[in-house]
Amino acid sequence: MTLSPPRPTLSHRAHRGALLAVCVLLILPLAALSLFIGSRTIGPGTVMEALLHADPTNDDHLVIWNSRLPRAFIAVCGGACLGVAGALMQSLTRNALAEPGTLGVNAGAAAGVVTGLFIVGSTSIAVYVWFAFAGAALAALLVHRLGRAHEAGQNSVRLVLAGAGISVTLGSFTTLAILAGPSEVFSSMRSWATGSIEGRDWSYLPIPAVALVVGALACVYLAGPLNSTTLGADLGRALGVNIPLTWGLTNLTIILLAGAATAAMGPVSFVGLAAPHVARTVAGPDHRWLLPFSGVFATILLLLADIAGRVVVAPSEIGAGIMSAFIGAPFFIGLIRRGKVAGL
């Protein structure tokens, strides 16, 4: 038996469902806008012609199909992965400051990617993604051990400090490895290290897309147990929740989602921190609604960051990982000052 929040009435469920549908639909115009904007502005008519009747001899059509369209899909899948991973991590640790960026998982995945490049010498995501998963898992294990994550509900500061320490250490390793490596490694990893989606083609999409599907299936099972365990492990155990299974599956899901997103886009922080808090103010603590709302809000934030990064210093670009902090941090601070950020 698992304990869920009071079951909402039919009207409440309909309201939440309608709001979620509206938020999902909001992704469409943002994704469409990302097809228009870039170092070369392409008009809506040309974009529609490229989508419906692609001409392989037309440069604008090639830009749409080979660059901007896969980039938009990667932003959607990668953003959703980070949002869901952040919500899972906050619920698992009962820590409002937890997310893959602050607890070192993204830094571990990034360090794993750089290590993989030096070991195998391949820049194919299908090869180095496994190093990303290994690095994310190792970083998560270190943070959990150093921060005593099982006690995080009583001592959240220790967990965050452990995550910050691991992030700084692994981030320094990643930067040093990129700078000290061969010139071809530096060139290929320079934009990736800033959390940029620039230059991503269709080969990068399957990894975050598959991770998102598998993670979503895992969340269907985890939503009920997490509703109980967020009240405390003892109460969750008393309600019949298999604590080791829930803990293990949640951690594996976080590693899968964060590792895949980092492998595809580079280390992107803050998205997984802000989106679950915004989702919690809208959807409440019920994970059946919290997890999908977190994924959608994170996707919206990442798309906005990617679009803004193409505009502010056009025709050059700023990585989405940098812009997400510029866009999201003031909004998040405003939520805190108004007391809108829900606690765990």
Neighbour tally for 337: CB within 10 Å: 9
Look at residue 76 in the predicted model and tell me its pLDDT. Answer: 95
Please, which residues have CB within 8 angstroms of residue 309's CB and are 6 or more apart in sequence? 196, 317, 318, 319, 320, 322, 323
344 — pLDDT class (breaks 50, 70, 90): low
Residue 153: predicted pLDDT: 45
**Whole-model pTM over 0.85:** yes
pLDDT over 90 at 295, yes or no: yes
How far is Cα of residue 35 from the mean position of the Cα atoms in its chain? 21
Please give the tally of structural domains in the chain.
1
Query: Does 313 fall in a domain?
Result: yes
Q: Is 20 domain-assigned? A: no
In a domain, 6, yes or no: no
Asked if residue 35 is part of any domain, the answer here is no
CATH of the domain at 101: 1.10.3470.10
Cα distance between residue 289 and residue 14, in whole Å? 12
Q: Average model confidence (pLDDT) for the chain?
A: 83
Rounded distance, CA 77 to CA 90, Å?
Answer: 20
pLDDT of residue 214: 96
Whether 150 has a pLDDT exceeding 60, the answer reads no
User: Is 55 a domain residue?
Assistant: no
Q: Residues near 291 by Cβ (< 8 Å), separated by ≥ 6? A: 84, 87, 88, 219, 223
Q: Is 4 inside any structural domain?
A: no
Residues with Cβ within 8 Å of 44's Cβ and at least 6 positions away in sequence, in order, are: 36
Q: What is the pLDDT of residue 110?
A: 87
In this prediction, residue 257 has a pLDDT band, given cuts at 50, 70 and 90, of very high
Q: Kindly tell me if the per-residue pLDDT of 1 is higher than 60.
A: no
Q: pLDDT band at residue 53, thresholds of 50, 70 and 90?
A: confident
pLDDT tens per residue, range 4-44 = 555 555 666 778 888 889 999 999 999 999 999 887 888 88
* pLDDT tens-digit readout, 262-278: 989 888 888 888 899 88
Q: How buried is residue 339: exposed, middle or buried, by Cβ count under 10 Å (0-12/13-18/19+)?
A: exposed
Listed range (21-30, 143-152, 288-297, 310-319) with the worst mean pLDDT = 143-152
46 is a domain residue:
no
Which residue type sits at 56? Answer: P
Res 182: pLDDT: 66
Half-sphere exposure of 222 (CA within 13 A, CB side): 29
Residue 138 is part of which domain span? 79-337
